[in-house]
Structure 1
Amino acid sequence: MRASYDDAPAPATPAGRRYLGLLVKLAFMAGALWLVGRHLDLPALGRTLRQARPGWLALAAALFTLSKLISSVRLNTFFRAVDIQLTERYNLRLYWLGMFYNLFLPGGIGGDGYKVYLLGKEFPGRRGLIFRALLLDRLSGMVALLVLLLALLAVVPATELRPAGALALPEWWRAVPLALIPLGLALSYGLGRWGFGEFRSAFGRTSWEALGVQGAQVLCAWALLASLGAASGPVLPYLLVFLASSIAAVLPLTVGGLGARELTFLYGAQLFALSAPVAVSASVLFYVITALVSLVGALVRVERGQPD
């Protein structure tokens, strides 16, 4: 089977600009991977990867897939808030095809661009709303990432969080990330009502769905650490670095986040005296799982007209 659609979407930007952007991303990714390779014991990385336990890897893949299923439902919640009615089955197929485009076709037909194109034909005159729904979906995921990052900062033991040679943190410092959570949520809600008021009926439900997406991915990272035999030690700092790497991977700096995650894991491991081979191995395995799950999108058939 193959992914198909009726008409090829017109490029949103001149070809030269698209290819230049792709070259910049590839250069940044190559530089990041070079830095990782330069500062890492590559034979130790290879040994760590070879020791990964298949059962835990399968659980990690299942948790990542679950996060994408929840993410698909979240996006459809935004669509329905502005009366863009898609069946969950159709939306899931379109979402998975978008994952494939986003990861494997950078600089060409992006997954979000394809959704705007196809759904714009299905719902004439609503292309702007479709684009705003996709943008808000991304923003809600970023807010959930920051909330989990702050919550984890508040519970990580000071002895695990403190960089080597740094002074001990006072106990009251935990109040800072805890106080920032409601402040950040209130600010994001206010900005959402101001900039995306037409979606406000979906804010409550999608906030929980966004936390579910990121929570499932944190559990995926934990399963990867377990597969590498690192779950019996201090796990929370690894998960903290994982959340930071997820934020770095969202930035449009590399192809599919490759390089940005590994670089964040490398420097995070150095900062908190973690095992660099374990940290980078977890990052590599997460990318492999992402690629394999996204590759399923190549088998999805999406055509104009919603299926029954």
Structure 2
Amino acid sequence: MAAKLKFLISVLLLGLLIYQLDGQALRGVFLTANPGWLLLAAALIVLSMVVSVEKWSQILKAESIYLPWYQLWKAYWIGLFFNNFLPSSIGGDGIRIFLVGRNISNLACAASSVIIERIMATLGLALTGLLTGLVVKPNWQVSWLFVGLTLVATGLLVFLMWGSLPASVVQRNGRLSNFLRTFLAHGRSVRGHGQRLLLAGCLSVLFQLTVVAVNYAIFRGLQVNSLGWLELVYIIPAISAIAMVPIGINGYGVREGAYVILLASYGVAGSAALGASLLFAVLVSLCSLYGGLLWLVNRERNVLRERLPDMKPEVN
């Protein structure tokens, strides 16, 4: 029911935007797009995944979990595929937790690493926007959004590394209580790995810059030249933050509205902003098909293992 409601909200928001904007101009945006710049944007999306996987790897190592890099690469891409094509109550992060947790026989540890990685990504997003706001003309609503995200992300990170559970939970022996105890224990274990956390933080900022670079290439491909690099470094993280609001399917509708509204002050036509947002979503979705292929291959291998129990496990 929730998924259907989100789908309906996304459709309504997109329909409203397309209705209010010039449909002919929107078609022109797509027809005049430079394919070379769009190919560069797709390549930068792949680069952003490399950065994300390495960031996740560093957090897992801080929790004393050492997995083959390609195993994390596959899990991340499969999670991206689920986010884009199989929206459900599980989501891409849930898939990552399941895939890694199954391999290490510890779902709580996998959950801890994924949640810490997500929190650090949010913190990197907020700090990128805040620091850029010092050198460009700021939008105060956007700046306060970054301040709020910084405080929330920092608070969650502090709780995961130093927080404790109520005594009523600690003293129980149920499955959920055991999971929560293990979850926080792994969160506390990263405190002694400052260098890895610092590297993960730097990679979080680098990831945001790659997302900005993807958008920069898309706008250049659409012949939109009114946006400079620093303006995009300031505004794209804000759009990403707004797109996190869980009222639509994979951010559709919310993200497009943020593009149109926030970029209007930079002289970007609504049709160009909407076109850029849709192209960004389409390129990410197309790239995520690679994750679907990995999922199908893994699924087939699992079937073979069930039929041939003596098969050796995959070596990465």
Q: TM-score when scaled to structure 2?
A: 0.77
Which among 180, 190, 196 is matched to residue 199 of structure 1?
190
What SS does structure 2 have at the residue aligned with 1:251?
Answer: coil
Letter in 1 for 2:119: L
Please show how residues 90-105 of structure 1 align to structure 2 within 5 Å: 90-105=71-86
Q: How many residues align?
A: 275
CA contact (8 A) 1:151 1:181 kept: no
Deviation digits for residues 13-46 of structure 1 (CA, Å, limit 9, x no counterpart) = xxxxxxx110121122112112211321111111
Alignment pair present for 1:54 and 2:22: no
Deviation digits for residues 179-229 of structure 1 (CA, Å, limit 9, x no counterpart) = 999989976764553243222313211001111111111111111111111
Alignment pair present for 1:82 and 2:76: no
Identity, % of aligned positions: 26
Distance in structure 2 (CA, Å) of the matches to 1:109 and 1:233: 37
Which among 270, 275, 281 is matched to residue 281 of structure 1?
275
Alignment pair present for 1:147 and 2:147: no
Backbone CA RMSD of aligned residues? 3.0
CA contact (8 A) 1:21 1:107 kept: no
Distance change >3 Å, CA 94–CA 34, structure 1 → 2: same
State the 1:299 CA deviation.
1.2
Q: Which range moved further: 27-36 or 283-292?
A: 27-36
Please show how residues 122-201 of structure 1 align to structure 2 within 5 Å: 122-124=103-105, 126-157=106-137, 190-191=158-159, 193-195=161-163, 196-200=187-191, 201=193
Q: TM-score when scaled to structure 1?
A: 0.79
Deviation digits for residues 68-117 of structure 1 (CA, Å, limit 9, x no counterpart) = 11101111221222222210011101211111112111116532222322
State the 1:122 CA deviation.
2.4
Please show how residues 1-308 of structure 1 align to structure 2 within 5 Å: 20-107=1-88, 109-124=90-105, 126-157=106-137, 190-191=158-159, 193-195=161-163, 196-200=187-191, 201=193, 202-231=196-225, 236-300=230-294, 301-302=297-298, 305=313, 307-308=315-316
What SS does structure 2 have at the residue aligned with 1:154?
Answer: coil
Distance in structure 2 (CA, Å) of the matches to 1:28 and 1:193: 37
Distance in structure 2 (CA, Å) of the matches to 1:224 and 1:258: 18
Distance in structure 2 (CA, Å) of the matches to 1:67 and 1:141: 12
Distance in structure 1 (CA, Å) of the matches to 2:145 and 2:254: 25
Uncovered stretches (5+) of structure 1, i.e. residues with no partner: 1-19, 164-173
Distance change >3 Å, CA 306–CA 130, structure 1 → 2: farther
Uncovered stretches (5+) of structure 2, i.e. residues with no partner: 164-186, 303-312
Distance change >3 Å, CA 255–CA 185, structure 1 → 2: closer
Q: Determine which structure has greater relative contact order: mean sequence separation of CA pairs < 8 Å that are 6+ residues apart, divided by chain length.
A: 1
Distance in structure 2 (CA, Å) of the matches to 1:229 and 1:157: 23
Larger % of helix: which?
2
Distance change >3 Å, CA 182–CA 96, structure 1 → 2: closer
Distance in structure 2 (CA, Å) of the matches to 1:26 and 1:108: 13
CA contact (8 A) 1:150 1:181 kept: no
Distance in structure 1 (CA, Å) of the matches to 2:159 and 2:38: 39
Letter in 1 for 2:15: W
